[in-house]
Amino acid sequence: MSAFPTLHSNVDTEHTAKPVVLDLQSLKKSYGSLVVLDDLNLSVQQGEVFGFLGRNGAGKSTAIRMIMGITRADAGSISIFGQSLHSDLIATRQRIGYVAQDQNMYPWMSPKVISKFVKGFYPRWDEARFKQLMNDFALPPKRKIGTFSGGMKAKLALTLALATRPELLILDEPTAGMDPVARREFLDLVRDQTTGDGTTTFFSTHLIDEIEAIADRIGIVEAGRTMYEGKLDPLRNGIGTWSISMNDYAATSLPGEFARHSVRVLSEGERRGRYVMTLQFDQEVLASHEITLNAGWRHDAMTLEDVFIAIVSQDQ
């Protein structure tokens, strides 16, 4: 592991004024010699859609199992709604809606039958809302769930979760296996429904476009550690890639005015005949948007996916 620090965006007053709904502090979890979580820290504010982003195997699902009380951390703390998760786990779970990656529902049940089963566990169950969402999502109430497509099962799981009137909605890779059209439709449903209710949403995914579509803020996790927490724009604006022909590259040079500022080199190396450097820097460096580059250097456009790869590849 490198000693590269967590990247944090500038914190704004509006954000910090909101109550904290979910707070993860210094979470650690190992299975034998396998370290799954290594000092994970995240804070989710009331009413926001928080994107929990990381590639497969980064520790996202383990963190969610801890939030749901299924798995205990080796060290660290989890607080939800301002109190320790384990102070009253059952009461806390009744305030959370959960949509898992795999929809393990009894195939012989219909939505109507499974709703009767689920509502017995949730005092805030809203039958009228369940029926309305079933209608909005065009789900047949009496058809056996075993005949549903993956997208239909995910919509049913979201319907059941929202019918509990949750204060916190947790989504664990809910669009896995969906085609692009079904994924976009599902994301639109999440955004519309949670925005209307003011529900806090914690959305775990490894898909960059899902984060761009609905997240207010994000946390990036890699190898069980928090690599970034904040809004998307500061992340985009604080990392950039520059390149120069290998014939013009000098080993000690940085592209222009960056040599006079505090920057960190996230990655560098030869690519298709050019020397490429990806830098993380203070956004004030680019405030004028008129950085003067040394001769031969050019600024190469980066997508959010490029930025994500630069962050999670730091250790390598």
Tokens representing residue 253 in the block: 């040079």
- Which residues partner with 7 through β-bridges? 228
Task: Give residue 291's pLDDT.
Answer: 62
Residues 86 and 170 in one domain: yes
Task: Give residue 173's pLDDT.
Answer: 87
Alpha helices in the chain (DSSP H): 13-16, 60-67, 89-93, 111-119, 127-136, 150-163, 180-197, 208-214, 232-237, 304-312
- What is the domain extent for residue 288? 238-312
Q: How confident is the model at residue 290 (pLDDT cuts 50, 70, 90)?
A: low
Q: How confident is the model at residue 84 (pLDDT cuts 50, 70, 90)?
A: very high
116-150 in b/e form (b: 16+ CB < 10 A) is eebbeebeebeeebbbebbeebebeeeeebeebee
Residues 156 and 253 in one domain: no
Q: How confident is the model at residue 2 (pLDDT cuts 50, 70, 90)?
A: very low
Residues 214 and 268 in one domain: no
Contact criterion met (CB below 8 Å) for 314 and 4: yes
Q: Is the pLDDT of residue 10 over 50?
A: no
Q: How confident is the model at residue 195 (pLDDT cuts 50, 70, 90)?
A: confident
Angle (deg, nearest 10), helices 111-119 and 127-136: 150
> How many whole angstroms from its chain centre is CA 103?
20
Give the residue-averaged pLDDT of 11-34. Answer: 80
* Least confident residue range of 10-24, 229-243, 272-286: 10-24
Residues 207 and 282 in one domain: no
Q: Is the pLDDT of residue 256 over 70?
A: no
Quickly list DSSP for 217-267: EEEEEETTEEEEEE-HHHHHHTEEEEEEETTT--TT--SGGGGGS-EEEEE
Q: Is the pLDDT of residue 287 over 70?
A: no
Q: How confident is the model at residue 182 (pLDDT cuts 50, 70, 90)?
A: confident
Tokens representing residue 133 in the block: 């969402």
Q: How confident is the model at residue 167 (pLDDT cuts 50, 70, 90)?
A: very high
Q: Is the pLDDT of residue 58 over 70?
A: yes
Residues 213 and 292 in one domain: no
Residues 153 and 296 in one domain: no
Number of independent structural domains in the chain: 2
Task: Give residue 284's pLDDT.
Answer: 62
Task: Give residue 241's pLDDT.
Answer: 87
Task: Give residue 43's pLDDT.
Answer: 95
Task: Give residue 101's pLDDT.
Answer: 80
Residue 1 located in a structural domain: no
